[in-house]
Amino acid sequence: MTETKNPTKGSNWSYAPSPESSDHFKLKDQYGLFIGGKFVPAASGKRFSTINPATEKVLAHVADAGEKDVDKAVRAARTAYEKVWRKMSGRERGKYLYRIARIIQERSRELAVVESMDGGKPIRESRDLDVPLATAHFFYHAGWADKLPYAFPGKAVRPIGVAGQIIPWNFPLLMVAWKVAPALACGNTVVLKPAETTPLTALLFAEICQEAGLPDGVFNCITGAGSTGAALVKHPGLNKVAFTGSTDVGKAIQKSLAGRTTKLTLELGGKAANIIFEDAAIDQAVEGIINGIFFNQGHVCCAGSRLLVQESVEKEVVAKLKARMAHLIVGDPLDKNTDIGAINSKAQCDRIQDYLKVGQEEGAELFQTNCPIPDKGYFIRPSFFTKVAQSHRIVQEEIFGPVLAIQSFRTLNEALEKANNTPYGLSGGVWTDKGAKIFKVTRGIRAGVIWANTFNKFDPASPFGGYKESGYGREGGRHGLRPYVELS
């Protein structure tokens, strides 16, 4: 039983545990690579285990792909591209995407539970955001498959070929959808490398492709660590690489592709400013701060990890934020009451703990709630820093955890200067009652997405992507089709 005090009413609020059941499906003990429409073992016979970060228990053993497997997968994708997929009409391709979308819907409960078990995110998020949005991406792109000439009027539209796609662990299934749906809709075939810590929903997605009767080799999934991703990028048979992950690996991929004609899109890190003006609806803004930084344990590239608050309301905002944070429940990702689940891996948990130390050593003041956290698994209490300087590492670097850095400002120009003083440029937020201020801020911040009086809203029709060290290329919307087609 978790007890939280309501500081505004002085009463106790108790929550009985409300765990989502995992009895309705059975994970296999072992998963192979998905190549040419079949699950096959790795050529080396090697496997690695994927664990539940909330319990540290092994969930399944997954094949570890090496260079030979990568080669086999790229060849399978090439054969499917040349013999079947590129020749198929958009209308026919669209039918497969619709079918995939419907099967994701049918298996949504299973997918949500597995996503929470393998990745640590609260079931409320995987159930209400990750899985429905993944479905929406397939429905949306199914609609485009036979309408590509309307997306690029006056141009002849052709697919590119074989796409190698590498995705991270923060939105495993959703990233599958962001990458695979536009590629397939445009007539390309895919070799996907999911993150080492979260391979399971990508493998369930491979089962869904089988169930949908997707022609063999159109979608291939090779599981493994960073070296598998590096081998995929190096493979000369790729026409396109799409990567989401850290800026460091993004740069390594850029180097690896230098001198080749392989096209590249990169969706990398972020350090978004969430800007609260004194004329904002403060209670709503506080909800926006909470959503901006604590959603998905802060493992979000577009997280509002820097709060810029106008000096005149700083005290009020910080006090209300503390009161709101006192209600956040950290714990079992499968419990429907949980607000903040498990940190994705021990490595990421250690990285966040290091930043908590670094911030204090740099002279910032740390605040953490005192909510109970489980003894087993990787958990971090919601945290923020005040008394931070623009030069502090906790302001400049992506922490990718439930840690907010709070700074104040006096004028709009100062807010813009601070917001832009970052190597990143992925997202931002502005909270104000004045429409004119919204326009000034959204034009003044160099970032791909800026939310006004809301945060973390996503739609398949809306392009997403960054500037500067946040990468290039867009995913979603008409813009997101462009990296997957040749125009003439």
> Footprint of ligand NDP on this chain (CB under 6 A)?
166-170, 193, 195-196, 225-226, 229-230, 233, 244-246, 249, 252-253, 268-269, 301, 348, 351, 398, 400
- Residue 417 annotated to the active site: no
Which entry of 209, 221, 301, 349 is annotated as an active-site residue? 301
Q: How far is the CB of 351 from ligand NDP (least distance, A)?
A: 6
Which entry of 20, 115, 196, 267 is annotated as an active-site residue? 267
Q: How far is the CB of 397 from ligand NDP (least distance, A)?
A: 8
Nearer to ligand NDP, 239 or 244 (CB): 244
Angle at 63 between CA 60 and CA 66, to 5 degrees: 155
Nearer to ligand NDP, 124 or 271 (CB): 271
Q: CA-CA distance, 57 to 74, in Å (whole number)?
A: 33
**β-sheet bridge partners, residue 221:** 34, 192
Nearer to ligand NDP, 28 or 351 (CB): 351
Q: CA-CA distance, 375 to 356, in Å (whole number)?
A: 20
- Residue 267 annotated to the active site: yes
Q: CA-CA distance, 404 to 298, in Å (whole number)?
A: 9
Give the strand pairing for 306-310 and 365-368. unpaired
Q: CA-CA distance, 382 to 402, in Å (whole number)?
A: 5
φ and ψ of 229, to 5 deg: -60, -45
DSSP state of 19: B
Q: CA-CA distance, 456 to 450, in Å (whole number)?
A: 9
Tokens of 357: 């130390």
φ and ψ of 443, to 5 deg: -75, -25
Which residue lies nearest ligand NDP, judged by its C-beta? 229
Nearer to ligand NDP, 183 or 313 (CB): 183
Q: CA-CA distance, 367 to 246, in Å (whole number)?
A: 27
The radius of gyration of the chain's CA atoms, rounded to the nearest angstrom, is 22
Q: How far is the CB of 250 from ligand NDP (least distance, A)?
A: 7
Cα–Cα distances (Å) from 95 to 7, 37, 462, in that order, read: 54, 18, 23
Nearer to ligand NDP, 4 or 246 (CB): 246
Q: How far is the CB of 112 from ligand NDP (least distance, A)?
A: 20
Nearer to ligand NDP, 377 or 471 (CB): 471
Q: CA-CA distance, 183 to 1, in Å (whole number)?
A: 46
Which residues are designated catalytic?
267, 301
